[in-house]
Amino acid sequence: MTVRSGKAQAGVPTEAGQTSSRRTGYKWRRLHDGNIIAEVTPHTGTGFWRASGYRAGGRANEVAYTGRAFVLLNEAHQGADELVQREFQHECRTGVCGRWLRWALTEED
């Protein structure tokens, strides 16, 4: 089996027949108010989660991070929601904020 994207996943043979040790991972994102994204990413090798928030299409200075590391994913989700509420003066409302969705990690993550 070959990997179409050219990027091998854990245990998936590459075109040369070698298997990759690259671990498949996920980050979580939730859209708030149509333009604010809360994000939870794994802290590699520790088992902790980190929370951040940013404006979609915003400037680099419109990014907020928590100083906390979370052990449980649902606590990290809550921490990210609280972060965007505090830093972007956002109020969560039914029908305005989306669900938490899982995204595959990229090479930049």
Distance between CA atoms of residues 32 and 97, nearest Å: 4
pLDDT of residue 89: 92
pLDDT digits (tens, 9 = 90+) for 22-61: 556 899 999 998 899 999 999 988 999 999 999 988 777 7
pLDDT digits (tens, 9 = 90+) for 74-105: 999 999 999 999 999 999 888 889 999 999 99
Q: What does the buried/exposed string (b/e) look like for 81-104 if buried means 16 or more CB atoms within 10 Å of the residue's CB?
A: bebbbebbebeeeeeebeebeeee
Burial class (CB in 10 A: 0-12, 13-18, 19+), 64: middle
- The residue that leads in pLDDT, 8 or 25, is 25
- The residue that leads in pLDDT, 4 or 19, is 19
Maximum Cα–Cα distance for the chain, whole Å? Answer: 52
* pTM of this structure: 0.73
CB 26 within 8 A of CB 102: yes
pLDDT of residue 23: 54
Select from 90, 86, 97, 92 the least CA-distant residue to 29. 97
What are phi and psi for residue 20, nearest 5 degrees? -95, 145
